[in-house]
């Protein structure tokens, strides 16, 4: 049939025409018109049509009504009609296809397919109502709910009653466009949609069948809402509440008799309710839960947001009412206290209240002589001023109370030791001599030189005074909420709510109960709170072990010194070394476990990520990830304390990422403190919700019987949920590299190239990139005391230049010495983490040559520990791109210049040797290919990164070099590794530009351009064939390596770059030629 063919060919989305929200006639025209408020359907019966609210749609700005927003962002009106009109108006907005298109699966896809659609809806609503900005989310949610309801009603009325699409089309709704109705018919005909509808119908039927329709009584509601939290302090004792409940239950049981008059037990015990009721939508449990978790936007949830226009009209009324109440209470209180001072001050409270409410001029300071103040002598106006009753703008200010006879002024001030002194007059009361303390002796021989006593009552309290509490020293930006900036206590509360939301269990939907501070210092903190109320909350004492009932202590963004204390005291294997660094162990895993890393494969990542042969991305499903997440979160919540770090990635302020790391070890917290960018106090106050969260439960294994699990270790990344879970490994490098993988996904989406590279900059601003895997010398060569260090491992290349992703360095320590690496050697000091090193048990001096624990010993330290680090870690566009390879075969030259095609070929190949210890299970160097010199971390296809690199190099004129830091004169085992000093001289020649003027010749097979000489480097080693004693063996080894390159590149040969295969062909031609 024709209509069926049209439905089948319907496209999913068609952008609506642009609308003018200033002129609503175009929108109102979409709504079905009414006749006298009714729609004529048949001659038998008139039915009410849908509410149109046309009068609201066409009214001007001056005719708008006001909407107030109460806590939890619920809108209310000043009367019932306003809020009813507002709710019905939003329902009409949801039916306007030009504002709310119907050809979408979900409301959340609105902005995805129709850019700015929700903002247009919000602007349209504001043109018809005076509504504060904080109601934006609620309004859009309400429109979305009405939009879904509208689609359901369309299906019920125009789809289900008819057998085929021909009949449905004939009876289609007039308010829905033809294209949108065709799309809806296509969707409703989908078998998957029909199956989903059946499941939903069954679920609704079960819910309705089990639903108890009986409303709870007032007594039942009171009993359910007076439960008390253990450890919280309440004003009223629990006995009072229990007695009231007993009285209510007694009255309720008495009414079971037949002759007893029915009385509401709740009202009889507590009295009638006195509540102020506003008209509006009620607060739901989900809205409270979301707001408590910090997921709602719009400011402080405890505030009421009133439009400015309405606020001006209400201010005068509120001020008048508040002034009357304050004047009444103030006059009674002041009259009482005056009489307590002296019976002669007999003030009439009513007269004082009238005086307070009398309009006055603050500038003139009118003085009133009140006859209602009875004294023993008459007083004139001047004496009244001495009495201190002055009227300033309607408020009474009592300045001083002076004896009306004026004989003397008596002021008593209590000294620190409780003694008193008379400050006016030479004699004390009753003619006694005036007493003075701490009189300085004129001769200076005998005097009291003791200091004031300490402000402490116990030793614990004295110790608490020893440590000064740090506070943000930067101003808070702007004003938060309706009543000014958040207090420090409120900020702490919001931080805990955000962390609790991060630790929320998916089954319980709520996070754990959190308190800040070390549980070992509960007693000290509790005593300290009594004297310093602005300090941390008192930790409730609770003696249960269930994680859902216990309190979890949050150690939030601790300093290195605090983390040292935690590690040394509670983590076995953590010690201070002779240089001040923290030596610790990573447990059974001393390297990464790439075979245990998983990425959730969903509809989006299936299309965007690199899967299949050669890819590092091993798939897992959403359900398995949630199982592992639940396991990790439950483990962390069961602990007495967890460490939480809120930090940043990427020094480019326009493209930085907020990350939160939740871990169980001080070692992990200090490691990430060093490796991520440390926020300033001001940035921490405004941190908010993180962009990505790591749950490190590495001390707890995964369930090996869970689907996709191959061992007790699992590192799981869910890009949709923006979360990473670590189970079964305590190696801290998993967190660092896991976040790097995330950046490899996020940055290319912003047209920013993420790079596994070191980066430094010369004094003239020339930037060099160093690509290479672990063990190729990337960290060593980028750390050059003659150049500024931008970073040693992870970077981004954007239109602004290059920027470091991290805030620290992660250097290998095996065989480290001051002679080889002075900058790294000197950086190992207080604050640095040393992983898996061996040290003398007495002197604590580290032996960097000892491989007893592992060959993969590491040092993690902040980048500012390098004296020549460039802060902030950003720089201009690179001038040189250096590809480092540790050639275990010994046939690649120490340095060669690459053209653009060769650069892409060797960048995609990523040849090096996997040095011992860099990954778990590797005991000796093994030749390997790692795409983009970091295949273990990339998310997209390697050619996408290579194309971006070529584009940026060509645009900014960068030159590429291939540098071999591996073997010469033979392969691994027979030859020797190229000396570091030679490699440094080669790198220096690249930086200076002298290599560009050298003479070059091409090598066989690989066709590389090698220079004839480099200052400070023996010329015979520049051509590798000269260093091999057996030339035939060299030729065989060269062909063997070339064959490995060819075989490796077969995976990428069929991938088209750009619109044609021209660039791909050039890259293939740049490879080895047999």
Handedness of CA 189, 191, 192, 194 (dihedral sign): positive
Q: Which of 944, 940, 511 is closest to 719 using CA atoms?
A: 940
- Phi/psi at 718 (nearest 5 deg)? -120, 105
Q: Does the pLDDT of residue 259 top 60, yes or no?
A: no
Helices of type H across 789-899: 822-827
| 474 — pLDDT class (breaks 50, 70, 90) | very low
Of 128, 513, 516, 737, the catalytic one is: 737
Secondary structure class of 620 (helix, strand, coil): strand
Q: Does the pLDDT of residue 527 top 50, yes or no?
A: no
- If one counts every other C-beta atom within 10 angstroms of the C-beta of residue 362, the result is 11
Handedness of CA 116, 122, 126, 131 (dihedral sign): negative
Give the pLDDT score at 247: 79
Q: Concatenated DSSP letters for 762-797?
A: -TTS-EEEEE--TTSSHHHHH--TTSEEEESSEEEE
Task: Report the DSSP beta bridge partners of residue 869.
Answer: 789
Average pLDDT over residues 214-234: 69
Q: How far apart are CA 71 and CA 482, in angstroms?
A: 11
Of 85, 793, 823, 887, the catalytic one is: 793
What count of Cα atoms within 13 Å lies in the side-chain half-sphere of residue 850?
A: 11
Of 592, 660, 668, 906, the catalytic one is: 592
Structural tokens at position 766: 């020339």
Of 151, 353, 589, 756, the catalytic one is: 756
Q: Cis bond leading into 872, ω under 30°?
A: yes
Q: How far apart are CA 562 and CA 673, in angstroms?
A: 12
Q: Which of 805, 282, 375, 839 is closest to 581 using CA atoms?
A: 839
Average pLDDT over residues 382-396: 37
| 2 — pLDDT class (breaks 50, 70, 90) | low
Catalytic residue list contains 291? no
DSSP secondary structure letter of residue 605 = H
Q: Are 158 and 168 in contact (CB under 8 A)?
A: yes
**379-388 pLDDT, tens digit each:** 343 443 333 3
Q: How far apart are CA 134 and CA 773, in angstroms?
A: 49
More confident residue, 776 or 412: 776
Give the pLDDT score at 313: 56
Q: How far apart are CA 950 and CA 945, in angstroms?
A: 9
Task: Report the DSSP beta bridge partners of residue 884.
Answer: 963
| 618 — pLDDT class (breaks 50, 70, 90) | very high
What CA–CA distances, in Å, run from 462 to 103, 160, 469, 516, 704? 69, 78, 14, 21, 52
| 400 — pLDDT class (breaks 50, 70, 90) | very low
The fraction of the chain above a pLDDT of 70, given in percent, is 67
| 349 — pLDDT class (breaks 50, 70, 90) | confident
**Tokens 């308190």 appear where?**
515
Q: What are all long-range contacts of 976-982, with beta carbons under 8 Å and residues at least 24 apart?
A: 978/894, 978/1021, 980/777, 980/780, 980/820, 981/1016, 982/894, 982/1016, 982/1017, 982/1018, 982/1021
Of 590, 615, 669, 779, the catalytic one is: 779
Among 119-128, 313-322, 932-941, the least confident range: 313-322
Give the pLDDT score at 607: 92
Catalytic residue list contains 491? no
Average pLDDT over residues 135-139: 86
Q: How far apart are CA 480 and CA 1001, in angstroms?
A: 67
Residues in contact with 1000: Cβ distance below 8 Å, sequence separation at least 6, in sequence order: 897, 1009, 1010, 1011, 1012
Structural tokens at position 549: 């009932």
Residues in contact with 88: Cβ distance below 8 Å, sequence separation at least 6, in sequence order: 51, 53
Q: How far apart are CA 158 and CA 169, in angstroms?
A: 9
Q: Does the pLDDT of residue 558 top 80, yes or no?
A: yes
The fraction of the chain above a pLDDT of 90, given in percent, is 38
Q: How far apart are CA 785 and CA 762, in angstroms?
A: 10
Residues in contact with 32: Cβ distance below 8 Å, sequence separation at least 6, in sequence order: 39, 49, 50, 52, 174, 175
Q: Does the pLDDT of residue 610 top 80, yes or no?
A: yes
More confident residue, 370 or 161: 161
| 730 — pLDDT class (breaks 50, 70, 90) | very high
Structural tokens at position 934: 């970091």
Q: How far apart are CA 1010 and CA 104, in angstroms?
A: 60
More confident residue, 799 or 538: 799
Burial of 892 (0-12, 13-18, 19+ CB in 10 A): buried
Average pLDDT over residues 930-955: 91
Catalytic residue list contains 405? no
More confident residue, 447 or 668: 668
Give the pLDDT score at 195: 84
Give the pLDDT score at 20: 42
Give the pLDDT score at 1052: 83
Give the pLDDT score at 783: 75
Average pLDDT over residues 915-930: 62
Catalytic residue list contains 189? no
Please tell me which of 70-84, 287-301, 467-481 the model is most confident about, judged by mean pLDDT.
70-84
Furthest C-alpha separation in the chain = 128
Q: Does the pLDDT of residue 807 top 90, yes or no?
A: yes
Q: Which of 808, 850, 812 is closest to 831 using CA atoms?
A: 808
Q: Are 1065 and 904 in contact (CB under 8 A)?
A: no
Burial of 760 (0-12, 13-18, 19+ CB in 10 A): buried
| 1061 — pLDDT class (breaks 50, 70, 90) | low
Of 391, 660, 665, 778, the catalytic one is: 778
What count of Cα atoms within 13 Å lies in the side-chain half-sphere of residue 1059?
A: 0
Structural tokens at position 232: 């919280």
Give the pLDDT score at 732: 97
Q: How far apart are CA 800 and CA 747, in angstroms?
A: 13
Handedness of CA 331, 332, 337, 340 (dihedral sign): positive
Catalytic residue list contains 779? yes
Q: What are the E-state strand segments in 541-683?
A: 551-556, 575-576, 582-584, 597-600, 619-620, 641-649, 657-663
3-state percent breakdown (helix, strand, coil) of the chain, nearest 5: 40, 15, 45
Handedness of CA 1053, 1056, 1061, 1064 (dihedral sign): negative
Q: Does the pLDDT of residue 528 top 80, yes or no?
A: no
Give the pLDDT score at 1069: 87
Average pLDDT over residues 361-377: 39
Catalytic residue list contains 467? no
Of 120, 858, 906, 944, the catalytic one is: 858
- Phi/psi at 845 (nearest 5 deg)? -80, 135
Give the pLDDT score at 623: 93
Of 741, 774, 896, 968, the catalytic one is: 774
Catalytic residue list contains 778? yes
Q: Which of 527, 500, 522 is closest to 513 using CA atoms?
A: 500
More confident residue, 470 or 387: 470
Q: How far apart are CA 929 and CA 939, in angstroms?
A: 16
**264-316 pLDDT, tens digit each:** 777 777 776 544 344 444 444 444 444 444 444 444 444 455 566 555 656 66
Q: Does the pLDDT of residue 713 top 80, yes or no?
A: yes
Q: Which of 700, 627, 691 is closest to 663 using CA atoms?
A: 700
| 12 — pLDDT class (breaks 50, 70, 90) | low
| 350 — pLDDT class (breaks 50, 70, 90) | confident
| 335 — pLDDT class (breaks 50, 70, 90) | confident
Q: What distance lies between CA 842 and its chain's CA centroid?
A: 43
**886-909 pLDDT, tens digit each:** 998 899 999 999 999 999 999 999
Give the pLDDT score at 544: 43
Catalytic residue list contains 756? yes
């Amino acid at each position: 049939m024709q209509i069926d063919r049209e439905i089948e060919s319907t496209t999913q989305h068609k952008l609506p025409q642009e609308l003018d929200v200033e002129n609503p006639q175009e929108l109102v025209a979409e709504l079905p018109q009414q006749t006298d408020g009714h729609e004529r359907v048949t001659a038998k019966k008139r039915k009410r049509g849908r509410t149109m609210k046309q009068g609201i749609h066409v009214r001007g700005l001056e005719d708008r009504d006001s909407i107030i927003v109460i806590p939890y962002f619920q809108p209310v009106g000043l009367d019932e009609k306003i809020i009813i009109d507002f709710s019905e108006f939003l329902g009409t907005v949801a039916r306007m296809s030009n504002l709310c298109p119907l050809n979408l699966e979900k409301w959340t896809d609105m902005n995805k397919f129709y850019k700015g659609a929700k903002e247009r809806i919000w602007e349209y609503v504001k043109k018809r109502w005076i509504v504060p900005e904080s109601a934006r989310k609620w309004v859009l949610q309400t429109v979305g709910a009405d939009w879904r309801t509208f689609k359901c009603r369309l299906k019920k009325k125009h789809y289900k009653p008819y057998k085929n699409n021909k009949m449905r089309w004939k009876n289609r709704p007039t308010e829905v466009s033809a294209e949108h109705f065709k799309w809806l018919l296509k969707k409703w005909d989908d078998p998957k949609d029909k199956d989903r509808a059946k499941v939903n119908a069954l679920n609704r039927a079960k819910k309705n069948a089990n639903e108890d329709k009986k409303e709870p009584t007032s007594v039942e509601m009171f009993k359910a809402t007076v439960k008390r939290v253990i450890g919280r302090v309440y004003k009223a004792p629990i006995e009072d509440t229990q007695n009231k409940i007993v009285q209510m239950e007694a009255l309720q049981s008495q009414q079971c008799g037949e002759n007893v008059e029915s009385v509401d037990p709740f009202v009889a015990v507590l009295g009638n309710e006195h509540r102020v009721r506003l008209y509006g939508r009620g607060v739901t449990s989900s809205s409270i839960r979301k707001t408590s978790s910090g997921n709602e936007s719009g400011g402080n949830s405890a505030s009421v947001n009133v439009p400015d226009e309405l606020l001006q009209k209400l201010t005068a009324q509120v001020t008048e009412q508040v002034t009357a109440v304050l004047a009444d209470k103030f006059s009674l209180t002041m009259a009482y206290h005056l009489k307590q001072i002296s019976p002669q001050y007999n003030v009439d409270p009513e007269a004082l209240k009238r005086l307070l409410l009398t309009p006055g001029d603050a500038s003139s300071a009118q003085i009133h002589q009140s006859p209602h103040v009875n004294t023993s002598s008459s007083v004139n106006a001047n004496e009244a001023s001495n009495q201190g009753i002055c009227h300033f703008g309607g408020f009474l200010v009592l300045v001083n109370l002076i004896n009306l006879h004026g004989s003397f002024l008596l002021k008593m001030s209590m000294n620190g030791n409780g003694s008193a002194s008379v400050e006016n007059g030479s004699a004390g009361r009753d003619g006694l001599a005036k007493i003075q303390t701490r009189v300085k002796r004129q001769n200076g021989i005998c005097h009291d030189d003791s200091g004031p006593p300490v402000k402490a009552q116990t030793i614990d309290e004295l110790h608490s005074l020893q440590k000064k509490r740090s506070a943000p020293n930067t101003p808070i930006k702007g004003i938060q909420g309706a009543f000014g900036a958040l207090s420090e206590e409120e900020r702490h509360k919001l931080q805990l709510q955000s962390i609790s939301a991060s630790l929320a269990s998916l089954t319980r939907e709520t996070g754990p109960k959190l308190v800040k501070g070390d549980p070992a210092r509960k007693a000290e903190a509790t005593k300290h709170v009594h004297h310093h109320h602005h300090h941390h909350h008192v930790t409730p004492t609770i003696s249960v072990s269930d994680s859902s009932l216990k309190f979890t202590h949050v150690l939030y963004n601790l300093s290195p010194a605090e983390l040292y204390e935690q590690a040394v005291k509670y983590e076995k294997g953590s010690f201070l070394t002779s240089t001040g660094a923290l030596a610790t162990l990573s447990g059974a895993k001393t390297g990464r476990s790439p075979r245990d890393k998983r990425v959730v494969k969903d509809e989006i990542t299936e299309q965007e990520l690199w899967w299949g042969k050669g890819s590092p991305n091993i798939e897992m499903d959403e359900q398995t990830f949630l199982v592992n997440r639940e396991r990790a979160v439950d483990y962390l919540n069961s602990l007495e304390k967890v460490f939480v770090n809120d930090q940043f990635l990427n020094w480019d302020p326009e493209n930085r990422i907020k990350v939160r790391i939740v871990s169980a070890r001080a070692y992990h917290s200090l490691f990430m403190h060093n490796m991520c960018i440390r926020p300033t106090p001001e940035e921490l106050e405004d941190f908010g919700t993180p962009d990505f969260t790591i749950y490190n439960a590495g001390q707890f294994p995964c369930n090996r019987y869970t689907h996709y699990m191959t061992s007790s270790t699992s590192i799981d990344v869910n890009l949709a949920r923006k979360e990473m879970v670590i189970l079964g490994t305590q190696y801290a490098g998993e967190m660092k590299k896991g976040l790097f993988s995330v950046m490899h996904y996020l940055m290319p989406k912003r047209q920013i190239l993420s790079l596994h590279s070191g980066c430094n900059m010369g004094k003239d601003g020339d930037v060099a990139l160093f690509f290479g895997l672990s063990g190729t010398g990337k960290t060593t060569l980028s750390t050059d005391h003659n150049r500024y260090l931008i970073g040693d491992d992870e970077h981004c290349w954007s239109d602004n230049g290059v920027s470091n992703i991290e805030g620290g360095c992660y250097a290998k320590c095996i065989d480290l010495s001051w002679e080889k690496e002075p900058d790294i050697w000197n950086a190992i000091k207080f604050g640095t983490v040393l992983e898996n090193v061996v040290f003398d048990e007495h002197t604590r001096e580290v032996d960097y040559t000892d491989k007893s624990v592992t060959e993969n010993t590491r040092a993690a330290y902040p980048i500012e520990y390098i004296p020549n680090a460039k802060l902030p870690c950003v720089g201009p566009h690179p001038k040189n791109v250096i590809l480092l390879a540790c050639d275990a075969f010994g046939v690649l030259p120490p340095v060669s210049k690459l053209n653009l095609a060769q650069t892409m070929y060797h960048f995609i190949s990523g040849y090096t040797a996997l040095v011992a210890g860099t990954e778990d299970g590797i005991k000796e160097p093994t030749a390997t290919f790692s795409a983009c010199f970091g295949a273990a971390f990339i998310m997209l296809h390697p050619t996408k990164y290579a194309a971006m690199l070529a584009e940026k190099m060509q645009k900014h004129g960068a030159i590429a070099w291939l540098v071999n830091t591996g073997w010469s004169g033979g392969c691994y085992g027979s030859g020797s590794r190229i000396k570091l000093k030679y490699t440094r001289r080669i790198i220096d020649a690249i930086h200076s530009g002298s290599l560009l003027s050298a003479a070059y010749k091409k090598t066989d097979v690989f066709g590389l351009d090698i220079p004839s000489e480099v200052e400070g480097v023996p010329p015979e080693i520049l051509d590798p064939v000269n260093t091999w004693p057996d030339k035939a063996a060299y030729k065989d080894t060269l062909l063997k390596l070339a064959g490995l390159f060819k075989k490796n590149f077969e995976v990428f040969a069929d991938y088209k770059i750009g619109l044609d295969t021209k660039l791909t062909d050039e890259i293939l031609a740049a490879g080895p030629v047999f």
